[in-house]
């Protein structure tokens, strides 16, 4: 693929970074069969290879993006399955993030789309606002059928019941039970704190029982992923910078052995802080935070868990895209569940996306619904007792289309090591 960037373009760090990725792409087509949107629609421009070609043309011309390019870029899930088969290790995530930032800066979306994206950016990263919005959505849910398709999808996505805020998610320090072996910070998230408080509670319990002092640092909040993937760089970098400053206070104070993240979509972005801030004043601190960031399954794999005898509960494990492709963690959660006595069922096409994709199910509801139906069918085929996943967005997406209980992997591991039965299982039984 011939690429012609000017010296002036290459002087810009983001352009120079994308140029490197574009040059690495062989246009070999190894990635195409893994692309969920290509599988559904069969359009070359809805594959990762096709999108790379569109991104190349858009950046190279340095002009306003056309509607075709914007449409196909918007329809990308950011699942990163393409990166798992790329022989030249093209970092598609960085390329796509730059393309979305470019589109956000240079493309004038229709008023409705601009308003919708602004609303999501103003609500989802802020638990208080999001909780109020969910309460309002529940009130108008009976009238959802008369609303526009995207608004209707958001209203229908609203759970019938929200848990009360958890006191555990306020800034504080939880001492280890017994000898302290590690000191870790827990990222409590944003949307997750509104939708499901059991995940953080289970994470704190299991870590404390296994010798971890757990700190919820002051002034941490949204990781920036939700706005980052909409191309809103100013907002996403502001959120990330706030977290970096907050966690560095702990690093420079009592110290941290890890920053634990139990939402894999957030973990993928936090681990990428080093790249996001590579040219700024916070570059060194961002690299430190990225190095310390661990998915909860990674940390638990380093700990000798004290298991109680468990029944052979059949668990259909959903491998979230952000965990298996974004963080390259494929086998660890399954090994942990098997070691705890659960019977783990791997669905066919375990690499297939559920269609959640951060805000994707809200912005691209038609494609998302088709992917969700395919994933839920695959998960239910093994006749499981419960479905487990490592990301709140995937849990909500799958839970909206199945009658089976859907829980976080850490809830099952907490139960197997002395914690309570997950609430979703109690309600189901």
Q: Is the pLDDT of residue 40 over 70?
A: yes
Q: Is 184 inside any structural domain? A: yes
Residues 262, 293: Cα–Cα separation, whole Å: 11
Q: Are residues 322 and 422 in the same domain?
A: yes
According to the model, what pLDDT value does residue 247 have?
98
Q: Is 235 inside any structural domain? A: yes
What pLDDT digit, counting tens, does each position of 224-274 carry? 999 999 999 999 999 999 999 999 999 999 999 999 999 999 999 999 999
Q: Is 1 inside any structural domain? A: no
Q: Are residues 98 and 82 in the same domain?
A: yes
Which H or E run contains 345? strand 343-345
Looking up residue 388, the CATH number of its domain turns out to be: 3.40.50.1860
Both tokens assigned to 188: 């409590």
Q: Are residues 152 and 180 in the same domain?
A: no
Cβ atoms < 10 Å from Cβ of 12 = 12
Q: Is the pLDDT of residue 146 over 80?
A: no
Q: Is 271 inside any structural domain? A: yes
Domain count of the chain?
4
Q: Are residues 317 and 290 in the same domain?
A: no
Both tokens assigned to 28: 């070999």
Contacts of residue 337, Cβ cutoff 8 Å, sequence gap at least 6: 315, 317, 344, 388, 409, 412, 413
Looking up residue 201, the CATH number of its domain turns out to be: 3.40.50
Q: Which range of residues forms the domain containing residue 342?
A: 307-428
Q: Are residues 180 and 270 in the same domain?
A: yes
Q: What percent of the chain has pLDDT over 90?
A: 87
What pLDDT digit, counting tens, does each position of 274-285 carry? 999 999 899 999
What pLDDT digit, counting tens, does each position of 85-102 carry? 999 999 999 999 999 999
Q: Is the pLDDT of residue 309 over 80?
A: no
According to the model, what pLDDT value does residue 73 have?
98
Q: Is 257 inside any structural domain? A: yes
According to the model, what pLDDT value does residue 46 have?
96
| Domain end among 98, 122, 157 | 157
Q: Are residues 102 and 118 in the same domain?
A: no
What pLDDT digit, counting tens, does each position of 105-115 carry? 999 999 999 99
3-class secondary-structure state, position 392: helix
Backbone φ, ψ for residue 248 (5° rounding): -65, -30
- Beta strands 293-295 and 343-345 are unpaired
According to the model, what pLDDT value does residue 161 have?
84
Residue 400 · residue 157 · CB < 8 Å? yes
Residue 168 · residue 192 · CB < 8 Å? no
Q: Is the pLDDT of residue 150 over 80?
A: no
Both tokens assigned to 32: 């195409």
Residues 18, 152: Cα–Cα separation, whole Å: 37
List, as one string, the DSSP characters of 169-217: GSSEEEPPSSS--EEEEEE--SHHHHH-SHHHHHHHHHHHHTTEEEEE-
Q: Are residues 171 and 139 in the same domain?
A: no
3-class secondary-structure state, position 301: helix
Q: Are residues 125 and 214 in the same domain?
A: no
List, as one string, the DSSP characters of 20-51: HHHHH----SSSGGG-HHHHHH--GGGSHHHH
Q: Are residues 117 and 72 in the same domain?
A: no
What pLDDT digit, counting tens, does each position of 333-367 carry? 999 999 999 999 999 888 889 999 999 999 999 99
pTM score over 0.75 = yes
Q: Is the pLDDT of residue 428 over 80?
A: no
Mean pLDDT to the nearest integer, 27-51: 94
Mean pLDDT to the nearest integer, 125-130: 94
Q: How confident is the model at residue 31 (pLDDT cuts 50, 70, 90)?
A: very high
Task: State the chain's mean pLDDT as an integer.
Answer: 94
**Residues facing residue 260 across a β-bridge:** 186, 294
Q: How confident is the model at residue 1 (pLDDT cuts 50, 70, 90)?
A: confident
Mean pLDDT to the nearest integer, 357-381: 95
| Domain end among 245, 270, 300 | 300
Residues 333, 201: Cα–Cα separation, whole Å: 19
Q: Are residues 311 and 359 in the same domain?
A: yes
Q: How confident is the model at residue 429 (pLDDT cuts 50, 70, 90)?
A: low
Task: Locate all alpha helices (DSSP H) within 62-197, ordered by sequence.
Answer: 67-74, 92-106, 111-123, 127-140, 149-157, 191-195
Q: Are residues 380 and 345 in the same domain?
A: yes
Tell me which of 349 and 83 has the higher pLDDT: 83
Q: Is 98 inside any structural domain? A: yes
Q: Which stretch of 5-19, 153-167, 203-217 has the lowest confidence by average pLDDT?
A: 153-167
**Residue closest to 392 by CA, chosen among 73, 207, 75, 159:** 159
According to the model, what pLDDT value does residue 75 have?
97
Q: Is the pLDDT of residue 308 over 90?
A: no
Q: Are residues 328 and 397 in the same domain?
A: yes
Q: How far is CA 29 from the centre of its chain?
A: 26
Q: Which stretch of 261-265, 311-315, 340-344, 380-384 has the lowest confidence by average pLDDT?
A: 311-315
Q: Is the pLDDT of residue 84 over 70?
A: yes
According to the model, what pLDDT value does residue 18 have?
96
Mean pLDDT to the nearest integer, 40-54: 95
Q: Is 22 inside any structural domain? A: yes
Mean pLDDT to the nearest integer, 379-406: 96
Q: Is 162 inside any structural domain? A: no
């Amino acid at each position: 693929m011939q690429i012609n960037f000017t010296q002036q373009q290459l002087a810009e760090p983001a352009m120079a970074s994308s140029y490197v990725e574009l040059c690495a792409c062989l246009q070999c087509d190894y990635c195409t069969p893994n692309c969920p949107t290509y599988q559904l629609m069969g359009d070359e421009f809805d594959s990762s290879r096709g999108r790379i070609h569109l991104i190349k043309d858009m950046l190279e011309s340095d002009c306003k993006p056309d509607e075709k390019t914007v449409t196909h870029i918007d329809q990308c899930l950011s699942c990163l399955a393409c990166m798992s088969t790329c022989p030249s290790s093209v970092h598609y995530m960085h390329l796509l993030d730059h393309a979305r930032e470019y589109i956000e800066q240079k493309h004038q979306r229709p008023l409705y789309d601009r308003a919708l994206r602004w609303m999501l950016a103003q609500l989802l990263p802020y638990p208080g606002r999001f909780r109020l919005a969910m309460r309002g959505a529940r009130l108008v849910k009976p009238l959802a059928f008369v609303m526009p398709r995207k608004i209707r999808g958001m209203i229908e996505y609203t759970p019938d019941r929200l848990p009360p805020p958890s006191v555990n998610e306020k800034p504080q320090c939880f001492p280890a039970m017994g000898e302290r072996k590690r000191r870790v910070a827990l990222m409590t998230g944003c949307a997750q704190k509104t939708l499901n408080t059991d995940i953080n509670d289970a994470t704190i319990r299991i870590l404390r029982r296994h010798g971890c002092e757990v700190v919820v640092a002051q002034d941490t909040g949204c990781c920036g992923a939700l706005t980052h993937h909409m191309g809103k760089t100013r907002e996403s970098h502001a959120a990330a910078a706030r977290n970096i400053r907050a966690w560095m206070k702990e690093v420079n104070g009592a110290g941290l052995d890890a920053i634990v993240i139990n939402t894999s979509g957030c973990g993928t972005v936090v681990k990428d802080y080093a790249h996001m801030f590579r040219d700024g004043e916070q570059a060194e601190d961002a690299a430190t935070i990225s190095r310390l960031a661990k998915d909860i399954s990674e940390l638990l794999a380093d700990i000798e868990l004290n298991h109680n005898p468990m029944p052979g509960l059949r668990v259909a494990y959903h491998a979230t895209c952000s965990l298996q492709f974004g963080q390259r963690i494929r086998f660890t959660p399954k090994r942990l569940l098997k070691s705890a006595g659960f019977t783990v069922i791997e669905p066919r096409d375990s690499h297939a996306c559920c269609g959640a994709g951060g805000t994707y199910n809200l912005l691209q509801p038609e494609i998302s619904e088709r992917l969700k139906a395919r994933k839920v069918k695959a998960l239910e085929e093994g006749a499981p007792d419960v479905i487990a996943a490592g990301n709140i967005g995937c849990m909500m997406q799958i839970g909206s289309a199945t009658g089976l209980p859907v829980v976080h992997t850490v809830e099952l591991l907490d139960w197997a090591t002395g914690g309570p039965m997950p609430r979703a299982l109690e309600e189901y039984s």
